[in-house]
């Protein structure tokens, strides 16, 4: 009888230990899952801010072109890097992928991109997003931060009846990877800019 009670006590203790171990593992898995979700959510919010900033930069380019070339708003609203030849010839921003940065006059300018595959090391170097000295997002150097965010601007023109085109499609694509999954996350904000001030 005493042996039977002893074995019962051991079995009961082992069952309690097993329940406690399962409970601890379950709590730990919930904690790590919620931590990964929190990191992913924070990174997604950062990516949306990065993408939105470049939509605003392209809007600023259009608005600056209107100011600089007020005499010919039909042709010059989307001129590439404020080229004054837009008044007499076609120097539109071409349908392409770009990096946006600021020139010495603190105007937004576009630079041609040559790599389009996210898995390519050159893509991550060419499109890398950093902080500048004022803690704004930049693609022209300064301070790295993690995770590695990349930002690509894609410009295209929808079919319309105007020549030159008076609408420009913009996609601001931000990609990154973090500890929650192996594949890249992506935020793609899109808008259409129009030349509503055309002559």
- CA 132 centroid distance within chain: 16
Report residue 193's pLDDT band, with 50, 70 and 90 as the boundaries.
very high
Q: In what order do the strands lie in the sheet with 150-156?
A: 108-112, 96-102, 150-156, 167-178, 181-194
Q: Which residue has the tokens 């694509």?
A: 173
Taking residues 152-159, report their average pLDDT: 89
Q: What is the pLDDT of residues 95-109, one digit of tens each?
A: 999 988 888 888 889
Average pLDDT, the chain: 84
Whether residue 126 has pLDDT greater than 70? yes
Residue 55 confidence (pLDDT) = 94
What Å distances lie between residue 181 and 37, 85, 145, CA to CA? 10, 48, 19
Whether residue 1 has pLDDT greater than 70? no
pTM given for the model: 0.78
Residue 192 confidence (pLDDT) = 94
- Name the token pair of 87: 């008044």
């Amino acid at each position: 009888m005493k042996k039977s009670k002893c074995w019962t006590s051991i079995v009961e203790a082992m069952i309690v230990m097993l329940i406690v171990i399962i409970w601890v593992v379950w709590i730990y898995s919930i904690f790590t899952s919620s931590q990964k979700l929190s990191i992913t959510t924070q990174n997604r919010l950062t990516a949306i801010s990065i993408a939105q900033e470049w939509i605003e930069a392209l809007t600023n380019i259009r608005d600056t072109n209107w100011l600089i070339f007020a005499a010919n708003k039909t042709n010059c609203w989307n001129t590439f890097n404020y080229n004054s030849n837009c008044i007499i010839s076609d120097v539109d921003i071409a349908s392409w992928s770009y990096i946006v940065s600021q020139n010495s006059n603190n105007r937004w300018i576009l630079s041609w991109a040559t790599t389009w595959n996210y898995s390519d090391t050159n893509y991550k170097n060419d499109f890398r997003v950093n902080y500048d000295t004022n803690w704004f997002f930049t693609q022209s150097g300064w301070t790295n931060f993690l995770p590695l965010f990349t930002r690509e601007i894609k410009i295209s023109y929808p079919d319309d009846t105007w020549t030159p085109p008076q609408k420009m499609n913009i996609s601001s694509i931000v990609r990154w990877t973090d500890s929650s999954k192996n594949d890249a996350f992506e935020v793609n904000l899109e808008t259409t800019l129009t030349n509503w001030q055309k002559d």
